[in-house]
Structure 1
């Protein structure tokens, strides 16, 4: 007779298998996309269920054995999904020493518009001394605090503050050229395109913050996916060193982010190094990587770290990149004709 505990294990195991496979349905509605986020959490919970089934189920019961096989299969599937982001996996961007020059130090932070702990951000910038600072969810209050705190040290500025949580402030010690403000999908959501001049070489920077697929803002990921992929298509057309940075409201391992990497030809410094989960800063058990810095094969990674809390629901992300003399395309993800067709369809659906 099945005990109450065994019944609970069956139910939890069934739910875990269901939410692991649900994102395979390529539907833009949020309920299909949201379960892409907690991949590491699903791996841990599934492992607990696996051990529980070993302990509490009889070995001679066919149904119990079948359930155990399904849980093992799901564990292998989840392991396959998270493996590229573990330290033992192959790095997509090679590492070099900190003394290699020229290098670019970049800090990105979603400050959370209602957050008022601006001093923590100011102290962090004073300590780390990044060349470029990208701040998201910045309204006029944040713009004024940043300008009065460290604005004089950053001569080149792009100030697109908004009161709708999609404000964007870019501060740079390095010269910025050819700066453009785009509204790729929605009129109220800006993105920045600019050239950073590093020792007479131009680095194309795209800064984006698409809206998340959540019921309170947009129940579908269509607009988010379109904005991400539009930038991916633009970066693919650029031959110069390129960086895409921002809060993508999408995890590093999602189907859309992987498609973006294929279409853009950019690389993810997280691969082979760790999750660097940046959201949610105040909930350790519900945390995943939403804030990203992708770059072309012109760069080598010198340093990457998730910074301490600044009072926001996001942790800042810091990278130091060495700009090499030659581009290394060897670790770009392979793109197929089907990928290109799918990207075009997603862009069309999100911009129509």
Structure 2
């Protein structure tokens, strides 16, 4: 006979699972709603445990629990499925070569209080990236990494002690590179227009919006993600967007970012390659993103070793030669023209509310 304690425990777990699964469906930017976009894998595991636990309950309780929990498990599995090897890839890995059209990128949220400066410096030396994008950097971080950073001919910094500083450094030819503020919440975004040694021009976006935590809704985060996608697509030029989005790859905002920018994702069909939390195996999700337009190929995309931060560094190698990239990526679905026009209108109105001195000057 099943005890009251066992029944109560299963009911509480089932209620938690159902509520946590349903909350992100609400059109709300409240942090306590959007935070449930992250642990979909963990919730799916909880749901499966509840299903097995419900087998031992009396029929009246069993079916009252199994039906909603099973529905929730199916929904969570559908959201996660693209980020597993069970689905076809969006980006075919290309061969590595040294013709000058490939670019190595190291993007790392170093976590401001982290003091393992030597580990980060060593990783920069080992990866030797053409583009270095560091987040959560303050003056101390810059001072500790100055030797490695200033070895690059082009450096842009926005050093802060509020967890939203950044360092951008590159050895590529720079046509434009500056910090931009896309939202009133005072979190910087890096926009750059670069050129490879082989003469291939492309745009780079480095993002690090605020996370959904107490005191932060996701209004500004979502706006920053979406508007950066549209601003960068004002010309027909390859675009890559990387950084700590503070948003899981399977969230509605990330999926809309892909749709708006016409991006593809190397995680699709390969695995979630979870980047956060590097300090906990139980609470990991893919929130450090890599998105590229289909005219950019991917040669390598991987997670680097831990360097003391709560984020793993993300390392990628991309191909910009259009002949080599042709046919390598799945073409994303196009936005209907009326939806695109409406989005352009909204972006145009929103842009008027921002400081023009800090906006991208791409034409």
Check whether TM > 0.5: yes
Structure 2 residue runs of 5 or longer lacking an equivalent are: 355-363
Of residues 330-339 and 89-98 in structure 1, the stretch that sits farther from structure 2 once superposed is 330-339
Change (3 A) 1:200 1:285: same
1:33 alignment counterpart: 34
1:214 aligns with 2:213: yes
2:269 alignment counterpart: 272
How far 1:37 moved relative to its partner? 0.6
How far 1:247 moved relative to its partner? 1.1
Change (3 A) 1:9 1:301: same
Alpha-carbon separation, structure 2, partners of 1:343 and 1:211: 24
Q: Which residues in structure 2 correspond to 1:1-352 (within 5 Å)?
A: 3=3, 4-54=5-55, 56-58=56-58, 61-99=59-97, 101=99, 102-148=101-147, 150-186=148-184, 188-198=186-196, 199-216=198-215, 218=216, 220-325=217-322, 330-336=330-336, 337=338, 341=342
How far 1:334 moved relative to its partner? 4.3
Change (3 A) 1:285 1:171: same
Contact 1:261 1:333 in 2 (8 A): no
How far 1:66 moved relative to its partner? 3.7
Change (3 A) 1:242 1:29: same
Residue deviations 1:86-119, cap 9 Å, x none? 0121111121222375211101001111111111
Structure 1 residue runs of 5 or longer lacking an equivalent are: none
Partner of 1:31, secondary structure, is helix
Alpha-carbon separation, structure 1, partners of 2:346 and 2:239: 24
Residue deviations 1:295-344, cap 9 Å, x none? 11112221111111111111111111122415667431443455875797
Alpha-carbon separation, structure 1, partners of 2:45 and 2:171: 43
Change (3 A) 1:342 1:37: farther
Alpha-carbon separation, structure 1, partners of 2:20 and 2:284: 17
CA RMSD of aligned residues (A): 2.4
The number of equivalent residue pairs is 346
